[in-house]
Structure 1
Amino acid sequence: MAHYGGRNYSKLTKTGFFVGLALFVVGTGTELVGHALFGSLPQWENSLLFAMALVGFAIGFASPFVFGIIMPLVE
């Protein structure tokens, strides 16, 4: 059996997924609520919220593959 060097890959996988999910939900939810309450938002807010949604999706999608599959196999 390989020794994992103190890294807890299951915790890293879950934490990365939930951080990505939180970024995605905050980005899309704030954009929807902002447009519903205020009509139009400034362009910098639209860009920020869109970037949050994209980064959250990327982190949430990649984290299980990187920390759950690839890293334990490489070690």
Structure 2
Amino acid sequence: MGHNMRLDYETYAKRGFVLGVALLAIGSIGSVMGPSIAGPLPSWERTAFFDLMWIGIATGFFSVFGFGIALPLTD
């Protein structure tokens, strides 16, 4: 499938990693700065910030692993 599409794996890996870092930064800044700005956060907001951090880590790791290592080897 990749032979006909000519995917730019390097660009996808870089953009996925940057997206993961951005999600991690938003989650960690929100969980640290949120209570100091808005007071105590509801539990759903704390959970959302925590989930953003883990989704960011997973996105950054799997985009680099998938688009940077695995898919170019199968091409």
Correspondence list, 1:1-75, <5 A? 3=3, 5-75=5-75
State the TM-score, normalizing by the size of structure 1.
Answer: 0.88
Amino acid at match of 1:44: W
More helix by share: 2
State the TM-score, normalizing by the size of structure 2.
Answer: 0.88
Amino acid at match of 1:48: A
Paired residues, number: 73
SS in 2 for 1:7: coil
C-alpha distance in structure 1 between counterparts of 2:69 and 2:58, whole Å: 16
Provide the aligned C-alpha RMSD in A. 1.4
Q: Which runs of 5+ in 1 are unaligned?
A: none
Query: In the TM superposition, what is the alpha-carbon distance from 1:40 to its structure 2 partner?
Result: 1.9
Structure 1 residue ranges (4+ consecutive) displaced by more than 3 angstroms after TM superposition? none
C-alpha distance in structure 1 between counterparts of 2:4 and 2:16, whole Å: 19
The percent identity for this pair of structures is 37
Query: In the TM superposition, what is the alpha-carbon distance from 1:53 to its structure 2 partner?
Result: 0.6
